[in-house]
Each structure stands twice: as structure tokens, then as C-alpha cells.
Amino acid sequence: MLTIQLIPALTDNYIYLLHEPVSGKTAVVDPAEPAPVLAALQQNNWQLDYIFNTHHHGDHVGANLQLKTLTGCKIVGSNADKARIPGIDQTVADGDIVQLGNQTLQVIATPGHTSGHIVYYCAASQALFCGDTLFSLGCGRLFEGSAQQMWQSLQTLKSLPTSTRIYCAHEYTAANGRFALSVEPDNQDLQLRISEVTELRRQNMPTLPSNIGQELASNPFFRPDSLSIRQHIGMEQQTDLTTFTQLRLLKDQFR
């Protein structure tokens, strides 16, 4: 099993430090800034071997070059984004495998938020490092991809085992929950999740990881087939894709 350490960064980012204890190999996912990563490495007495990037945005690759210079680590990222990921050493694509010691991470292409977005799924550790594709109670904005691409990406993630823990890159759960409640106010699983999230945030604790099972029950972007959601947004006769597209537009406008 991977040892996974959550590192808060910037305003609401999360960086994930992954350590495989048998080999001692260590990777960091989407390092936004170097200082908290270096502090965590020193605290644990770990040597950084890899950076796993999910996409090219600055709050996910901001520490790439400095960490590479200081540690000699290798940077892994999407082949489709190789021109936009600083210091990239190894390119990967959908279906490829990344090895961290004796733990295997599968690369899954999830375009939508960006055109080259990928996620890393470790079945043995029941962990998904999903960047800005999937959030707890939400999904990423469509900066480069289409709603259809994002919907298909989410379909892929929905099919993972329900016990799969979701390690996304931002603390957006409370805000996402407010929108989710506006489109499905009678969802008791959602109401319970929001109560839990409210208490965690009151204690200044992370709301992550979530898991696929929780998201299937409460995340509106996993649930465009919900009759309640369709009735609330006037999409009773529409397809799942059309309903999802409308949900994403409504979320973009939600305040």
C-alpha cells in the first residue's frame, strides 16, 4: 500500500506525496509550490524520485523545475502536454503504467478541463489522483475540452470500484456542495455529506479523500440521470449528456 500524505498549498490546492515503503520510492503529484513539499520530504526523511503531473496549469506544475534541480527527480506527464509541462522527462498516454516501487499506477486520459489532462489510478492502494477532472461534489471547468469530453472522462472514473479514494487537487467541497444542494435539495446522501463537510471545515480539516461511492450518491455531475435533478433544472426529456452540459453551465454561473 502507498503511504499518502496530503499537503495544503497556495490558497486551496492539495499536493500529494506518495511513498512506497518497501522500495522507499517517493513521488509527488501536482506540486504547486516547492517549500511545503521539501518540508514534508525532510520531515519524513524521504528522497523524491518522481513528479506526477496531471495537467499543465501553473498551480499544478509550479514547483517542477525547482524540485527537479534540488532532488534530481524525474517528471512524468501527458504526451499531449509535453510542450507545456516544465522539465518533463517521461511522457505517458491513456493505458500506460507508471511504477512506483512495487505499486503500479495506471494512466487514464481524462480530457475536458484541459485537452491533455490525465489521472493516475492505483488499484492496489484504492487511490485515484485526479487533478482537476473530478472534485468531491463537483468536476473541473471546461477550459480547453468539450462537455462531451468531460462527460466521457467522468464516465470512465464512475466505473472504478466504489471504494476508490479520490485525491483531487483542490479544497472545493463546501462550495461544490452549495451548488449540488441547489439542484438536488432532497438528496439525503448529499445533505449528510454537506453536514460532514461543514464540520470538517469548521475544524479546518481537509474534506478529502472522498470516494467513488460517495460521489455516485451525491455529486450532481455523476448524477444527470437523477429525476430530481432533471426536474429542478427543467431537463426531464433530455439526454444525460445534455443534462450534464446544462449542469456545468449552471455551475459556472453559480454564486
The question of whether 59 is a catalytic residue gets the answer: yes
CA 239-242-246 angle, to 5 degrees, is: 135
Q: How far apart are CA 226 and CA 206, in angstroms?
A: 28
User: Is-catalytic flag, 232?
Assistant: no
Question: Given 55, 56, 81, 117, which residue is catalytic?
Answer: 55
User: Both ends of the chain: CA-CA distance in Å?
Assistant: 40
The strand pairing partners of 128, in sequence order, are: 121, 166
Cα–Cα distance list, 73 to 18, 46, 94, 196 (Å): 13, 12, 23, 38
Catalytic residue, chosen from 19, 56, 117, 170, is 170
- Is 117 in the active site? no
Catalytic site residue from 132, 225, 232, 252: 132
CA dihedral 107, 113, 115, 120 (to 10 degrees): -10
Choosing from 30, 49, 59, 81, the catalytic residue is: 59
Active-site pick, 57, 89, 94, 186: 57
Residue 250: what residue type?
L
Active-site pick, 19, 56, 60, 117: 60
Concerning whether 60 is annotated as a catalytic residue, the answer is yes
Place of cell 522527462: 89
Active site residue: 19, 56, 81, 113, which one?
Answer: 113
What are the percentages of helix, strand and coil residues in the chain, rounded to 5? Answer: 35, 25, 40
Show the cell assigned to 50: 518522481
- In angstroms, the CA 140 to CA 150 distance is 8
Q: Measure the CA–CA gap between 220 and 243, rounded to whole angstroms.
A: 10
Calculate ∠ Cα 14-126-221, nearest 5°: 65
- Cite the active site residues: 55, 57, 59-60, 113, 132, 170
